A = this chain, B = another copy of it.
Amino acid sequence: MTESIYANYPPSLSPTQQEFLVTTIKDWAIQNGLAVRPPPTYVPEGTDPNRVLATTAPVTLFPSPFPRSCFQEAEALQTAYNRLYATITNDEKWLGKIIEDLIDVDDFVANLWKTHLAVKEEGYVQDLSLGLFRSDYMAHETANNAPELKQVEFNTISSSFGGLSALVRSLHYDLLTSPPGFSLSYPPHPLFESNVPPENTAVETLSGGLAAAHIAYGPSKSSPKLPLAILFIVQDGERNVFDQLALLKRLTDFHKIPVFRVISSKILDQTSIPASDPSRPLVYTPPHSPTTPFEVTTVYLRAYYSPDEYKSSRDWEARTHLERSAAIKCPTVLNQLSGCKKIQQVLAEPSGPDHLSSFLKGTDSSLIERLRKTFAPQYDLSESGQGRDLALNPESALKHVLKPQREGGGNNVYKSEIPGFLKSIPEADWKGWVLMELINPAANAENVALRNDGEVLRGNVISELGVYGTILWDNKGNVLHNDQGGWLLRTKGKEVNEGGVAAGFSSLDSVLLF
């Protein structure tokens, strides 16, 4: 049944229909802020010296079919996932044991861990942590049964695209229901009949988490007291700025909270912690209004998630500066580390101890089993384990993907290339990699994508569903706020996933449930 859904989708487009859709989407995107700053491949640096140009975010022309059961299961599990990762973050001992094993193969993890240890030695002054999470899944096709929800990764830092994703849902909704009273933007298709993408409350959910932290921070710790604000730490030259601004707008307009964006390289210039104040408030002085300092309740990192962002010791100094402050971190260093693929692998190791049950004590066992069912089998490559054999055997390798355990990676090694790749690197480095059984999304899914350079590409695609959640908890394990809501569908041209062909695409998409 699933196969037949994909076989006839999307409806074919005449050149006139495609031109209409593409024009409508390009205009809709700019009218509604579904935009990015253009990539240098399309607008070379000298062409837009004032960085004033924008272009449509890459989107699919059609929403993609997605099994309703998988979508609902992902939503149903998110608050349990939130709790799982909050609990792991609190278990410094368990986390540390795994992390310390990675230190000699992964500088980035090593430096994050060192940052934690340094702040721990001085003593943390903030008991609360905030998580804005996104759990990413695929709908895994099985031979005879309904598709199964399988987790690709769990993001504990930045968790971006909530802002743009909500807009893509609106775009596809508008196309499906326009003009009013009719439905003529797309050619007719059975899947379109009384069917629109479900609501997408990503912006409300993520902003709600930040607002909850802001309130839980309590009164200013400075003397004299300062006004309170949230800081977004962002990358210099960020092209995905409108995604972030959607959250900022919600915090400003609805929650009435001051929010400032600070480029990561400016943290040490624009924020300070008074040396004399043992409560270590993080003070932000807006450069455009230097006489009005604010105390930062919450630091939301939209930067510092990837190793290449730490260009010098000054970046580590800035990260440590934030970590030791009284601001609530989203995320803390430990929470960021909990998102390592290695952690995911340990949780998902088919033959290991039952970590899930111990972390989710008090949780209904059937819920724990549903969570466990979302894991694809994963292995380390230790001598003692099963993973090494599965990776080196050319036949079993075909069913697997080898992932570096770093976030923001993208350097996966697939199938037949795994044995050769492993032999090409020192065996001592193997523990930096995780072997994961491949998830099989629908083989014949298709869509049409509008790239951010305006090119239209059609082809076989793989879609990944992300579900957003947010949790605020303290270091004793008390949960103050635990919420889920909103989703992301990212759809890639198939060849991209299998080796990064330049002609491919990765687009924001929305779901049509079936």
A interface, CB within 8 angstroms of B: 14, 16-17, 19-21, 26-27, 30-33, 35, 38, 43, 47-56, 178-182, 184-185, 227, 229, 241-242, 245-246, 249, 252, 256-260, 286-289, 292, 452-455
Contact = CB atoms under 8 A, between A and B. Distances in A.
Contacts of A180: 252, 256-258
A272 to B, nearest CB: 17
Contact of A35 (B30, B229, B245): B30
Nearest to A245: B31
B27 A245 contact: yes
Given A35-B30, A227-B182, A52 B454 contact: yes
A253 to B, nearest CB: 8
B452 A52 contact: yes
Contacts of A455: 50
Contact of A242 (B31, B50, B260, B286): B31
A258 B181 contact: yes
Contacts of A452: 52
8 contacts: A26-B51, A26-B52, A38-B53, A50-B454, A52-B55, A180-B257, A184-B288, A184-B292
Given A31-B249, A50-B453, A184-B292, 5 more contacts: A16-B288, A178-B252, A179-B259, A184-B286, A184-B289
B181 A227 contact: yes
A20 B288 contact: yes
A229 B287 CA distance: 52
Given A27-B242, A287-B20, A288-B16, A260 B179 contact: yes
A226 B32 CA distance: 32
Contacts of A20: 286-288
Give 3 closest A-B pairs by Cβ, nearest first: A50-B454, A179-B258, A52-B454
Copies in the complex: 2
A385 to B, nearest CB: 49
A289 B17 CA distance: 8
Contacts of A31: 33, 35, 242, 245-246, 249
Nearest to A241: B27
A85 to B, nearest CB: 31
B453 A52 contact: yes
Contacts of A182: 227, 258, 292
Nearest to A47: B47
Contacts of A51: 26, 454
A423 to B, nearest CB: 44
Contacts of A52: 26, 55-56, 452-454
A452 B17 CA distance: 32
A224 to B, nearest CB: 16
Nearest to A26: B52
A475 to B, nearest CB: 30
Contacts of A17: 288-289
A43 B35 contact: no
Contacts of A35: 30-31, 54
A260 B182 CA distance: 13
Contacts of A287: 16, 20
Nearest to A33: B31
Which of A26, A35, A53, A182 is the most central at the interface, judged by chain B CB atoms within 10 Å of its CB? A53
A265 to B, nearest CB: 15
A43 B16 CA distance: 27
